[in-house]
Structure 1
């Protein structure tokens, strides 16, 4: 914690410009995905503002166990700015207690109204508050009146433009100073994710007077500008795009090598004064390295069994040697340079960072005989978004157990 004082509370575009610095490229809040180490890496490659992972306000502010939760989940320093701290909650007073604990160490506090996961339904927060407008207005208004920093809100859209706009205007009226619109419905998640609706985001931007960030459909750096131009928003946020290519915020002619990003992330983790949980590190590595590991399956297995920093580092350095050899076999002239395949997906060598493209659902998906397999796929989406780990990986088993034992505390790399 920095303990440094926060400047006079600003609102709306004054807050966006003077406090946040008019960011266009923003790292999204992700449970177990946008921790301090990842924010540092993202800023190095061009992220202009970052959100923390979603924190559970009740656990964060609990008088008995809250300190342990905060020590485990939340860290920052004076270089980690601008930063917005995100909470989930369904109670104004609990939310305020949690927010008061961070108001001197961040630039704004964000209310999560977008999490679509089953754990959010069970905990009654995120997008599952979408129909409780009076409660939402009360939470936003409480933070607006009582905090030293602005309150921002992240939402999902409704099936119609009209209701989405009405929802956004209600939140603005309650006191939100910035709104992030994830252009997907609450039902769009996992293998049912589909495309985000930029038209609804555009409609919200045109209807409200506060700054608006867009979220959804950002796979490549060029998508930032496309979204800015199409929707007219003030900034564009990415979650999954960053997880698979931390350098997505920078305009590079070719994506970076996977091992380079993995090595740089591990070195940041090593140098941080606060520790990063092993499961978080492993989740990041599986995503960064996802194009490379299917080619070198023995290293994928080693990574799945690893639990210590040095073990992770050794796997990455061995993978580096192999990928350099793979690259040398074809030479720079023979490398894929991002040309589109017949499905419109850019092609790169397996040594380069690239977005995760979800496979199509099987034809019999949804039939009773495959229900067990569907549940397994959905669980893997919530616990790691395609990390391709063995089912007996102890870290994944522990993560799933934690989710059952402590709702809302740990849902790996879920977009908040």
Structure 2
């Protein structure tokens, strides 16, 4: 991979909560760049203030305009800033951030109801000061259906049309669940790059291995990750549990499992064992029992 995004950080907490940035932006300076910090906000002033606090830690700042979760709906950030009546607020936020910081400003969006509307949105973002746009190839899901909706195929042809119409680097997001998809999606969309989120959580070597890992290879990857977790312990063990959950075939809610039975565990037993682990060493044992037994 050429670059990485942080998780979505709340601009309000960056500005007002002591220790929030320190906790969320722990990096290994030599290995963590280029890095894009992803912010969500509902205020141009607050977004600009947060940008000034994080710009020294990153190479670009992204405004999240794709989050479909209930909190985003309730507070009006993420994908809910894409509504037509909120466009003036959105463009003012992009302009304020671009004027405040020295690093590039980029945006991650979802498709709107039509390709034409999506292209119009991208043009407005470009005019406001956005330097790069990542396009998630799905529309905002109906309330309460974001998990089902994200399993549907992304509309790569719509992204292709956006790429053809917009004179900015466009990053295609969606349908990157296996190694071949990287090259395939680049060819289908003509995008400047491919973004993968869940695909890389499941398979951290998605961009380098070229094929789905065997259980033994996956064990090696997971054990290497756990060594890094020992060397650079995160603030909470739940972060490590979550990554191991993805690598072993399940998302954090237990809705998926790559194998019906994994080592000595059933899918549900594996889920329970990982959630119950109280140390990196316990997670190490689970990985070895699961993939190497």
- TM-score, normalised relative to structure 2: 0.88
What is the CA distance between 1:289 and its match in structure 2? Answer: 0.6
User: 1:121 and 2:73 equivalent?
Assistant: yes
Q: 161, 170, 173: which one pairs with 1:203?
A: 161
Structure 2 residue 100 is matched with structure 1 residue 146: yes
Structure 1 counterpart SS, 2:56? coil
Residue matched to 1:159: 113
Q: Which residue of 2 aligns with 1:263?
A: 223
Kept in 1: contact 2:219–2:292 (CA 8 A):
no
Match of 2:12 in 1: 58
Structure number, greater radius of gyration: 1
Q: CA deviation at 1:143?
A: 1.3
Asked if the contact 1:293–1:300 (Cα under 8 Å) also holds between the matched residues in 2, the reply is no
Q: How many matched pairs?
A: 272
How far apart, CA to CA, are the structure 2 residues paired with 1:83 and 1:318? Answer: 35
**Other-structure match for 2:20:** 69
Q: CA deviation at 1:299?
A: 4.6
Q: Which has the higher strand share?
A: 2
- Which runs of no fewer than 5 residues in structure 1 stay unpaired? 1-46, 323-416
1:247 aligns to what SS in structure 2?
Answer: coil
Q: 1:136 aligned to 2:90?
A: yes
- The aligned residue for residue 214 of structure 1 is 172
Over aligned residue pairs, what C-alpha RMSD do you find? 1.6
Alignment partners' CA distance in 2, 1:314 and 1:251: 25
Q: Once the two structures are superposed, what CA deviation does each residue of 1:375-414 show, in whole Å capped at 9, x if it has no partner?
A: xxxxxxxxxxxxxxxxxxxxxxxxxxxxxxxxxxxxxxxx
Q: SS of 2:292's equivalent?
A: helix
Post-superposition offset of 1:307: 2.5
* Matched residue, 2:244: 285
Displacement of 1:319 after TM fit? 2.4
Residue 294 of structure 1 corresponds to: 261
CA distance in 1, matches of 2:164, 2:29: 35
Secondary structure at 2:206 match in 1: helix
Which structure has more RCO (C-alpha within 8 Å, separation ≥ 6)?
1
Q: Is the 8 A contact 2:179 2:212 kept in 1?
A: no
- Unaligned residue ranges in structure 2 (runs of 5+): 250-257
Q: Distance in 1 between matches of 2:11 and 2:260?
A: 37
